[in-house]
Amino acid sequence: MENLKEKIQAIAPSAVFEENTQVLTVDVDKNELHQLAENLKNDESLAFDYLQDIIGLDLGDALGVNYRLFSTKNNNQALVVKTKTDDRENPTLHSVSNLWQSANLYEREVYDFLGIKFIGHPDLRRLFLRPDWKGFPLRKDYDIESNPVTLKNESVEEFEGSEKLELDSNGHIKESNFQLFDDKDYVVSFGPQHPSTHGVLQLRVSLNGETVKHIDPNFGYIHRGIEKMCESYTYPKILHLCERLDYLSAAINRHGFCLCVEKALELEVPERAVYVRTIFDELTRIASHLLGWASMANDMGAITAFIYGMRDREKIMDIFEETAGGRLFTNYSVIGGLMQDIHPNFQKRVKEFIPYMRKMLKEYHTLFTNNPIAKQRMLSAGWLKIDDAISYGVTGPSGRASNWHNDIRKIEPYAAYNKVNFNEITRENGGSFDRYMVRLDEILESLSIIEQLIDNIPDGDYKAKTKPIIKLPEGEFYQRVENARGDFNIYINSKGDKTPYRVKFRSPSETLVSALEPTVKGEKIADLIMIGGSLDYVIPCIDR
């Protein structure tokens, strides 16, 4: 740790280390940022190769940016680099998108929400909002009413090109234009309404016959402004918005937010609640993987497999419904514990479900996995190398299929995960078939986790006592959880009020979509859809 601090100090003399933070946090001047980032990434002894998230926030007099870095080689050492712009009127920063591929979308997102221009970014367009949107919504002085509903179509030119800021040799900023596609390209647009984009995502694809040449995802068709809404909501209210981000891992996201608040409050959660939450998380994971499997099969044209997946998912919905009352959204974890105690039938139903699911998994393999067409298609396309996976930030089952050990349940165990034995499922090759198999194998692993917990749920309270109005102490809080799609991170910046100052959710799906570019290039259109299915992203989580 001290060694790391010294090294950073040597590279960036202006660096100031913050005290009393959850993770090692360093403040640097914006002019030294790029230098530091380059060293952090390329220095073998530091090797911060995974840029997890870029968090932009409005600091009042200036705009701040937090870079959250991890070193996958050095025991997942975490580091937060903070910097801020000079002013609000013309905020500029140096882009780090040449170092980490994941920065590409994150910087566009920060530009979209806060208006910080990144010098050297190859393609600085708005990410979520329309090109003709006025203002930057996450600034504190943004007027909510400033953009009424319009039925004017977006102009294609505006989201296919943008101005680009670059530094010339003298250090001056020069503007140039950026064009996405050539005039001669045959560009096909998949979405926003398309059966296989898993939501309202637009993929603009230039084709050479059936082969994909270039792909450009266009987000924002379900951008609901959740992060801005969180700033005016109390913490228990935000829980509901968390569920609606990645609705397939609803319980896990909600659990994550509860954990973050509980950590900030230093609240002790009863063991019973911890166990039940973990079981709910794993059930949610199974349900999500089932749907992922089903919709991937559907993308490849096997509709029967889709119906089978949905059929077995209903069994989990039944268990949820009996205990929590909700199907898709369980509304079950609350700050301090659980909404109510488990239903008397809960354990029995779950224990019935485990052998049933194991049997059904075998059927899935007979029906779909071992089908010659399916197997051949999955084995022949969509390779993602481990370096790309880390650089693009592809976490979760998709990252593990590329042999990246990134399971947060193992790295930073939360809830009851350090009390159970389970394997982190990884595979070597990083192809579509590997991603597919990781998901199915994880269902088995989740079943074994549940099996270990279900009989050992301790007696006692299901909820700790909390104050009627929850106020978080001042500070910045992070909590990572492993949701069904990967590394879901919650960032809360509190000023000590009953509402947060800034909340940021790291969407694992966002990086999954950005990883389409390296995986899909040179493959066929049919594989584009199949690879999309194998990455298994959820669009509302990206758009937030």
Partner 1 sequence: MFDFKIVTSWIDNLLRVDLGLDNFWTLAIEFILVGVALLAAYALIALVLIYAERKICAFFQCRIGPDRVGKWGLIQVIADMIKILTKEIIPIKRSEKLLFFLAPFFVIIGSFLTFGALPFAKGLHAIDFNIGVLYILAVSSLGVIGIVLAGWSSNNKYSLIGAMRAGAQLISYEISAGLALMTMVVLAGSMQLSTIVESQADGWFIFKGGIFALVAFVIYLIAGHAETNRGPFDLPESESELTAGYHTEYSGIMFGFYYVAEYTNLFIISAIATTMFLGGWMPLHIPGLDGFNQVMDYIPSAVWFFGKCAFCIFLALWVRWSYPRLRIDQLLKLEWKILMPISLINIAAVAVAVTI
Partner 2 sequence: MKIKSIHIKNIPNEEFKDNEYLEQYVEELKKNGTSVAVTKLSDLLNWGHSNSVWPLTFGTSCCAIEFMCVAAARNDFARFGWEVTRNSPRQADVIFVSGTIVKKMAPVLKRLYDQMAEPKYVIAMGGCASTGGPFQSSYSVVKGVDQIIPVDVYIPGCPPRPEAVLYGMMQLARKIKLENYFAKERLEIKENVPLAEIAKENKAAKQEKAAAAK
Name the site residues for partner 2 (rule: CB under 8 A).
Answer: 128-130, 137, 142, 144, 146-147, 149-154, 192-195, 199-200, 220-226, 228-229, 232, 240-241, 244, 247-248, 291, 306-308, 310-311, 313-314, 317, 327-329, 539-540, 543
CB of 249 to partner 2, least distance (A): 12
* Integer Cα distance of 473 and 262 in angstroms: 11
5 binds, among partner 2, partner 1, none (CB under 5 to 8 A by kind): none
* Integer Cα distance of 489 and 480 in angstroms: 4
Strands 77-84 and 25-27, by their bridges, are: parallel
88 binds, among partner 1, partner 2, none (CB under 5 to 8 A by kind): none
Q: Coil, strand or helix: which one is 224?
A: coil
User: What residue spans of 300-431 are helical by DSSP H?
Assistant: 303-324, 346-364, 372-379, 386-392, 396-401, 408-411
CB of 153 to partner 1, least distance (A): 15
| 490 DSSP β-pair partners | 479, 505
State the residue for tokens 């590279």.
11
Is the CB of 207 or the CB of 470 nearer to partner 1?
207
CB of 391 to partner 2, least distance (A): 29
Whether residue 166 contacts residue 149, with contact meaning beta carbons closer than 8 Å, is answered with: no
542 binds, among partner 2, partner 1, none (CB under 5 to 8 A by kind): none
151 binds, among partner 2, partner 1, none (CB under 5 to 8 A by kind): partner 2
529 binds, among partner 2, partner 1, none (CB under 5 to 8 A by kind): partner 1
Number of H helices, E strands in the chain: 19, 17
418 binds, among partner 1, partner 2, none (CB under 5 to 8 A by kind): none
Is the CB of 148 or the CB of 209 nearer to partner 1?
209
301-306 contacts at long range (C-beta below 8 A, 24 or more positions apart): 302/368, 302/371, 302/374, 304/367, 305/364, 305/367, 305/368
Is the CB of 11 or the CB of 538 nearer to partner 2?
538
* Integer Cα distance of 319 and 349 in angstroms: 7
Buried-exposed string 391-400: b where 16+ CB fall within 10 A, e elsewhere: bbbbbbbbbb
* Integer Cα distance of 80 and 32 in angstroms: 15
Binding site for partner 1 (CB under 8 A): 186, 188-189, 194-196, 207, 210, 297-305, 307-308, 311, 367-368, 371, 373-374, 376-377, 524-529
Is the CB of 23 or the CB of 328 nearer to partner 2?
328
Whether residue 181 contacts residue 203, with contact meaning beta carbons closer than 8 Å, is answered with: no
CB of 473 to partner 2, least distance (A): 26
CB of 211 to partner 2, least distance (A): 23
178 binds, among partner 1, partner 2, none (CB under 5 to 8 A by kind): none
Q: Pseudo-torsion of CA 217, 299, 405, 271, nearest 10°?
A: 100
150 binds, among partner 2, partner 1, none (CB under 5 to 8 A by kind): partner 2
CB of 409 to partner 2, least distance (A): 24
CB of 270 to partner 1, least distance (A): 41
Whether residue 361 contacts residue 294, with contact meaning beta carbons closer than 8 Å, is answered with: no
CB of 108 to partner 2, least distance (A): 15
